[in-house]
Structure 1
Amino acid sequence: MAEFKELVKCEWEYMKCFSSCSEEKDAVRFRDPLLPEMYDHNYTYLKTSEDGETLPERIRREIGISRSDGLRFCHIMLDGFLEDSLSSWLPVVPRVTRYGFYIQSLKDFSGLGGNGDCGVEKVLSPSAAGEILLLELEQDEVEPGNAFYSKRAARRALAYLSEGGVDSYLCYVGKQAVGRCDLFISGALAKIEDFMVLPRRQRRGCGTALLSAVMEAAAAGGAREAYLVTDEDDTPKEMYLKYGFRKAGEKTGLLFML
């Protein structure tokens, strides 16, 4: 199984498909000039400090850098879980999210089955990329025309339709898209991201069919292991464990609104 540090490096390579990257000895910063309001495209991954600087000092410094960059937030990622008691010394109370890394070998992967009425297709055109926007609007119960959702969909389409970037897959029942999932391959690792099935189509085998097809695409692309990152407070992780994924690491997200 890949070491946790290899998963983190794959995370960084994935983000380079959407954001510029600047790396220092103790931090990696991502900035997306096309979508500066998106938390996941604009964050800092704090590595282990080599200068003895305390975590509160480093976080205060990152908040200052985010302000100077014109961001209205400061988003920080840390390896492992941050103890709740440590929030007392933070300059601003953040939103804390705990994430788990879950991984599965593709060596002997033979499919998961799922709904046989589902078809899975790779996004290869702007019109297919536009279907992702419709899925997200329905999933989040957002009215069509929402400026942020439209801007985010256009930003992601640039990556989906480029060579060597992130691939996106749509799950169809008939001609209707009911789910989607992204796939990014870096060497022997495949990252599965933004996996979703519309609520009205859940528990019907669509998610299983979609995940199986994406993992088969990962294996065909040369990956030996596939992993995903999920909120530890969400229930989908139980589904991944049922499908044979194993927990491989943890990280904490801190979101400070400035």
Structure 2
Amino acid sequence: MHKSPLLDQMLELEKEYVGLFSGAIENDGTMRYIDSALPDMHTHNFIWYNSKQGLGEFVTEQIEKHDTKEKGFFRIETPYPISSKLIESFPVKPKICTYDLMYIETNKFSQLKGNLACNIFSAEDHKVLEDGMNVDIIANQTEMGLDFAQRRINRKAKVYSDNNKEIQFFVCYCDGVPIGSIEYMPFNGMIKLEDFDIIEEHQRKGFGTFVLKHLLEIAYNDNIEIAYLITDSADTAKEMYKKNGFMKIGEKTELLFFLE
């Protein structure tokens, strides 16, 4: 996988983002993230493997460890392609997901349209934060289960409320009702957009596009030139991002092993 300077910058921001929630241990091309406050959250407890070589041996060694088996899962991410032959060699078959890194120049905000019948507020106000947390739970409880969805957003909200953390949480309202939420993280002349949800009954009505337009304009006015997000390569949301001008710049692959 060819790494452009722009992609390198995005991967650096990814490290900063995960570091908001998790402690990090760096060792020979790997970065191990541990969130002791939410140890069962896969995206806060994983290993970033930044090498083309040795992945098979490394994974096999890790999933055989007693501590890993006790945890019940092992998650690893890499920016490099993984062959089907290598995957077949693992003693446990993983769930595999490929993610696309997509970016847009913030000066394109004026080209986006969207549904103007909504308002977007930063969750600096406690009521706005609560509204955004409820949106997040509604959007994710079917997939994650109610208990985990609640624990997950409670964990994140502690970081949103920390003024020393470079992350903001925005909530979208329609007729005074919260219908969407998104994270916004600036770092080194770039912003990361993450955890973007529009409640299902309000999807495909232009609200998502307007949220993107609003945040791109904020970034542009702050002299930030690039915005990016990460989406499941098989997700229908990817088409919405492409339609709005986001371009794919790279990929990362996730292997998630469930261990008994």
TM-score by length of 2: 0.89
Measured in 2, the distance between the counterparts of 1:141 and 1:41 equals 18
- Give the root-mean-square deviation of aligned CA atoms: 2.2
**Corresponding position of 2:123:** 123
Q: CA deviation at 1:69?
A: 9.1
**Corresponding position of 2:172:** 171
Counterpart amino acid of residue 230 in structure 1:
T
**Corresponding position of 1:26:** 29
5 Å-filtered alignment, 1:139-150, equals 139-140=139-140, 142=142, 146-150=146-150
5 Å-filtered alignment, 1:65-144, equals 67=67, 70-107=70-107, 109-110=109-110, 112-140=112-140, 142=142
Q: CA deviation at 1:225?
A: 0.3
Q: CA deviation at 1:19?
A: 0.8
Task: Find the residue that maps to 2:156 and give its secondary structure.
Answer: helix
Q: Report if aligned partners of 2:56, 2:86 keep a CA contact under 8 Å in 1.
A: no
Q: Could you report, residue by residue, the CA deviation over 1:127-181 in whole angstroms, capped at 9, with x for unpaired residues?
A: 3222233223332455xx9332221111111111112332111110021001111
Task: Find the residue that maps to 2:38 and give its secondary structure.
Answer: coil
Task: Find the residue that maps to 1:181 and give its secondary structure.
Answer: strand
List gaps (5 residues or longer) in structure 2: none
Counterpart amino acid of residue 117 in structure 2:
D
TM-score by length of 1: 0.90
Counterpart amino acid of residue 231 in structure 2:
T
List gaps (5 residues or longer) in structure 1: none
5 Å-filtered alignment, 1:1-258, equals 2-48=5-51, 54-64=54-64, 67=67, 70-107=70-107, 109-110=109-110, 112-140=112-140, 142=142, 146-163=146-163, 164-258=165-259
Q: Report if aligned partners of 2:82, 2:253 keep a CA contact under 8 Å in 1.
A: yes
Counterpart amino acid of residue 31 in structure 1:
I
Measured in 1, the distance between the counterparts of 2:99 and 2:7 equals 13
Q: Percent of pairs identical after alignment?
A: 29
Counterpart amino acid of residue 123 in structure 1:
A
Task: Find the residue that maps to 1:130 and give its secondary structure.
Answer: helix
Measured in 1, the distance between the counterparts of 2:218 and 2:46 equals 29
- The structure where helix makes up a greater share of residues is 2
Counterpart amino acid of residue 136 in structure 1:
D
